[in-house]
Amino acid sequence: MGNKISINDLTKVFYKKGSSVTALQNISLNIEDGEFVCLVGPSGCGKTTLLRILADLETPSTGDFTIATGNQDRPLQSMVFQERGVIPWLTVEENVAFGLKMRHLPKKVIKERTDYYLEKVGLTNFAKLYPKELSGGMKQRVSIARAFANDPEILLMDEPFAALDEQNKFILQEELLNIWSETKKTVLFITHSIDEALLLSDRILLMTSQPGRIIDEKVIDLPRPRTMEQVRADPVMAEHFVEIWKHLQEEVQGSRV
């Protein structure tokens, strides 16, 4: 596999009223095609800013990035946010089909993909409902189905399960992994949960407090498919957990000095 995402010495500085804040500093990173990578770091370390730059919602101050394109007919990236992913005036199926319709794909293709991913996330029976009639977990299922249905080159996921209760979180993590195992999308996923990162990822990137820099990585060799029970019972994963926890503690404490 080749590199899908290449980031070269990227820095982002925000300017406001005569002052400046460096959100990201000298980020260099390669992510392989089909790799599932999690970003873990203290709050305010620039994780979301990095995703927004890759989604072309922000521009870097210095440095650059490239995303290797495969099929020119596919969108480059789709971003899944924590809670803001659904369009309130569209039904569930209209939300899932939204990106496909914007690309003016044939109606047959739109219906087939929409129906397929509605079934994948267990929302077939809720296709005609509006977001206000859904729980938070169901709304996130809509966001995930829409992202995969649109068939992007990469998926950028910004703490998509953070607001959910543990039961819904586990269900959606499993559904995400099932769909990812079929599609082998390149995924860059932000999380504050060490357990979630260990369960989902091929590799975990550890970031410093502001200005955000990548200072370490953990390669997760636990075979797939994996369960949370396996993650918690594996001694190597337990060691990774402790090391990541210590890293977060040190970064949070250091930022307060």
In a domain, 104, yes or no: no
For the segment 38-64, what is each residue's pLDDT rounded down to a tens digit? 999 998 889 999 999 999 999 999 999
DSSP characters over 187-201: EEEE-S-HHHHHHH-
For the segment 221-232, what is each residue's pLDDT rounded down to a tens digit? 999 988 889 999
In a domain, 11, yes or no: yes
Q: How far out from the chain centre does Cα 69 lie?
A: 19
pLDDT at 255 over 80: no
Q: How far apart are CA 207 and CA 5, in angstroms?
A: 18
For residue 245, report the phi and psi dihedrals to the nearest 5 degrees: -60, -45
CATH of the domain at 197: 3.40.50.300
Per-residue pLDDT at 72: 61
Q: In the structure, what pLDDT confidence band is assigned to residue 189 with cuts at 50, 70 and 90?
A: very high
Per-residue pLDDT at 252: 81
In a domain, 257, yes or no: no
Q: Are strands 62-67 and 77-80 parallel, antiparallel or unpaired?
A: unpaired
The parent domain of residue 222 ranges over: 3-84+154-247
Q: In the structure, what pLDDT confidence band is assigned to residue 77 with cuts at 50, 70 and 90?
A: confident
Cα–Cα distances in Å, from 114 out to 85, 94, 126?
Answer: 16, 9, 13
Q: In the structure, what pLDDT confidence band is assigned to residue 74 with cuts at 50, 70 and 90?
A: low
Interaxial angle between packed helices 107-120 and 166-183, expressed in degrees from 0 to 180 and rounded to the nearest 10 = 130
In a domain, 121, yes or no: no
Q: How far apart are CA 240 and CA 236, in angstroms?
A: 6
Per-residue pLDDT at 175: 87
Closest CA relative to residue 220, chosen from 197, 246, 191: 197
pLDDT at 119 over 70: yes
Task: Tell me the mean pLDDT in the region 90-116.
Answer: 93
Three-point CA angle 48, 68, 25, nearest 5°: 35
In a domain, 209, yes or no: yes
Q: How far apart are CA 96 and CA 111, in angstroms?
A: 10
Q: Are strands 3-16 and 62-67 parallel, antiparallel or unpaired?
A: antiparallel
CB 247 within 8 A of CB 208: no
In a domain, 92, yes or no: no
For the segment 199-214, what is each residue's pLDDT rounded down to a tens digit? 999 999 999 998 999 9
Number of domains in the chain: 1
pTM equals 0.90
In a domain, 126, yes or no: no
In a domain, 25, yes or no: yes
Query: Which has more confidence, 9 or 165?
Result: 9
Per-residue pLDDT at 172: 86
Task: Tell me the mean pLDDT in the region 157-169.
Answer: 85
Element (H, E) at 78: strand 77-80
Q: In the structure, what pLDDT confidence band is assigned to residue 1 with cuts at 50, 70 and 90?
A: low
Task: Tell me the mean pLDDT in the region 98-103.
Answer: 90
Q: In the structure, what pLDDT confidence band is assigned to residue 256 with cuts at 50, 70 and 90?
A: low
The pair of structure tokens assigned to 38 is 């999690």
